[in-house]
A and B are shown apart, each in its own frame.
Chain A
């Protein structure tokens, strides 16, 4: 393994690991705040128990997200020093904003987790609200900084170095502005579906358990609203990619040659010898229609671009397709849920729907990872598109394979522990009998 490949693998792994904890840590606070808000409104004890339960799970994910995020802030320099020297003055201020958002998030999460008896119920709920907002802010800012790597703005190149820096213009780069909502929606959809899936699983085992019914409803609502909005946000983002990174879009959509009236392609395997996709299913004119609202619109093909600047086509295209497919499945499930809610006035009586939701538990995370691979591998061979190649940014220190192997072991260990802890969490969830006892105790107290 070359040093560059080791560095790229380590970075990809560290990000791919962090992203799961970051999105759960961002989305779960909304779920627990909604549950607590329901409790304050209805005074039904079940919502308080849900909020407290979810808070514990959130705390684990938040803590792992925080420490792995710290790893990343160091690894940016440890692995990509030339990139940071270039980019630090331009997108660094965004990370300063993120730093304070993270401070706020950590402060109010501390109050939320430990302050049940120490502050008034309203102040407690407000603390949860601050956690939600600051979590979203830090997510938005980080993704916008990432967007800058795709569509770098806010500087001019002078003698090979950036000058006339404008940090605000850099932050408000074209890709980042649309990547950010896509990521935030992905977080809420993924976490909402995952939590709903777990409670659906338990509802199938213990029918009529009010704890799981209430928890399922809240998580499903958040997941479904996000899953319905997500394809819309993806459509905006794809149009933006078509404008600013036509090569990347051509790879996403499997567009080899430039053509008018381009079809939307489903499936296909990249044949690198023939430089064509085999086994593709085509929907005529659909891609031109989607991108340009015109069936004869022109879509650029990847052959228009120098081959040395092509990203790894098979990986990017496959990841993109997985993301889109899952996005559509999740949207369909969300519409199904909406129909059940509208027609039957409840979402937990249909066993088929519950089973479908159980199967959908990991989908949001898979789609998020796939989307991340599509956008990040799709950016290769550049680290800052058009300005700095990844290979030029890598650390001169040899032997990066050693930290890669070490972190692979460490993150595998942490993954196993977290899955095991969540399993304990699920097993320890209250049965219907416990719930009745709890409510009785609460009333006596």
Chain B
């Protein structure tokens, strides 16, 4: 039986996975919105708008849940992260505000005119901000060693995240989200031309993801030795890495052979295992070497209460989510001529 601390750490990891698979993919779709070219440009934009419309608000709530669990169950870590990573966290929420507002302005307006092109542009560009910063923040938490009583502003609030490892993790996160989005969009349309476009993009993104994943690992050797050590010198680390690699190759193979449902499934598993490899290697640290899920935890009663609340909430959430996705993602695909 896991203790409450470990259970809640696990819930955090699961929530982060859902956020990446759902909310992350919405940001990734913004990347393809920005890169849309050619004669079908408008159709690509419409496909992305239609795919996101009913679900993007829900997908975003996962992030709020993560923040809530963090400040309730691990307040000391939430506080330290909020102080040291003030700047990237602020940039992250600015990206979230701009992206969401632009999408709402574009899609819930009564008229349809020229200004919508501007909202589209804002939506696409601001979609890049948040994934980058999310990766940077997670990267900085992986590197850890937050300064206490720092002497200068730079040392205290800039250098913990302006480092090679967090920055490369930011770029990796963005590519991962774009890759997911491409494999999802394939299955959102029956239009062969659009499918072909997103198939090519998914393959390229898949290769970029594979390349960056290796870069992250290699840079982790010096940048995040704790993560590197766990992944390189343990049996489960080797297994997870093998799994990630296997699913990555399988996803590209299914894309090449146009079996999209299988490609998407492999991409989902690849991303899930990537996040879990990070999570298990990071455990029990929230920020190494000082903050763990044990020493940053709230009193036992709070942990019990929030665990119960999460359990009851999940009973409400998952049937509702299932209903939503069955309505909009289950049945007939929209026609995009």
Contact between chains at A99 and B55 (CB < 8 Å): no
Given A66-B100, A93-B309, A103-B320 in contact, is the A73-B68 Cβ separation under 8 Å?
Answer: yes
Contact between chains at B97 and A421 (CB < 8 Å): no
A345 to B101, CA, bound (A): 42
Which of A76-84, A202-210, A298-306 contacts the other chain? Answer: A76-84
Contact between chains at A103 and B58 (CB < 8 Å): yes
Contact between chains at B324 and A92 (CB < 8 Å): no
Contact between chains at B54 and A163 (CB < 8 Å): no
Residues in A whose Cβ lies below 8 Å from that of B108: 56-57, 59-60, 63, 113
| B interface: dominant SS | helix
Contact between chains at A84 and B82 (CB < 8 Å): yes
Contact between chains at A81 and B83 (CB < 8 Å): yes
Number of B positions contacting A (CB below 8 A) = 64
A396 at the interface (CB under 8 A from B): yes
Q: How far is the CB of B154 from chain A (nearest CB, A)?
A: 12
Given A92-B306, A103-B320 in contact, is the A403-B83 Cβ separation under 8 Å?
Answer: no
B192 at the interface (CB under 8 A from A): no
Contact between chains at A56 and B110 (CB < 8 Å): yes
Q: Mark B52-91, 1 if CB is under 8 A from A, else 0.
A: 0111011011011101110111011011011100100110
Contact between chains at B61 and A428 (CB < 8 Å): no
Which chain B residues numbered 282 to 317 have a C-beta less than 8 Å away from chain A? 298-299, 301-302, 305-306, 309-310, 312-313, 316-317
Q: Mark A176-187, 1 if CB is under 8 A from B, else 0.
A: 000000000000
A82 to B179, CA, bound (A): 39
Which of A57, A81, A118, A165 is within 8 Å of B302, CB to CB? A165
Q: Mark A419-430, 1 if CB is under 8 A from B, else 0.
A: 001001100100
Contact between chains at B67 and A68 (CB < 8 Å): no
Contact between chains at B97 and A67 (CB < 8 Å): yes
Which of A104-112, A224-232, A255-263 contacts the other chain? Answer: A104-112
Q: How far is the CB of A116 from chain B (nearest CB, A)?
A: 11
Residues in B whose Cβ lies below 8 Å from that of A109: 57
Residues in A whose Cβ lies below 8 Å from that of B63: 70
Given A67-B97, A89-B298, A119-B327 in contact, is the A424-B58 Cβ separation under 8 Å?
Answer: no
Which of A84, A96, A106, A424 is within 8 Å of B109, CB to CB? A424
A356 at the interface (CB under 8 A from B): no
Residues in A whose Cβ lies below 8 Å from that of B55: 110
Minimal Cβ-Cβ distance residue in B for A59: B108
Given A84-B79, A92-B306, A417-B105 in contact, is the A70-B93 Cβ separation under 8 Å?
Answer: yes
Residues in B whose Cβ lies below 8 Å from that of A403: 90
**3 closest residue pairs by CB, A with B:** A92-B72, A77-B82, A63-B104
Known: A88-B298, A111-B327, A168-B305. 7 other contacts (CB 8 A): A63-B57, A85-B76, A99-B64, A102-B61, A106-B58, A107-B58, A428-B111
Chain A residues packing against B (C-beta within 8 Å): 53, 56-57, 59-60, 62-64, 66-71, 73-78, 81-82, 84-85, 88-90, 92-93, 95-100, 102-104, 106-111, 113-115, 118-119, 163, 165-168, 395-399, 403, 406, 410, 414, 417, 421, 424-425, 428
| Interface CB pairs A-B, < 8 A, 11 | A74-B82, A78-B89, A89-B75, A90-B302, A92-B72, A92-B73, A95-B72, A103-B317, A109-B57, A165-B301, A428-B110
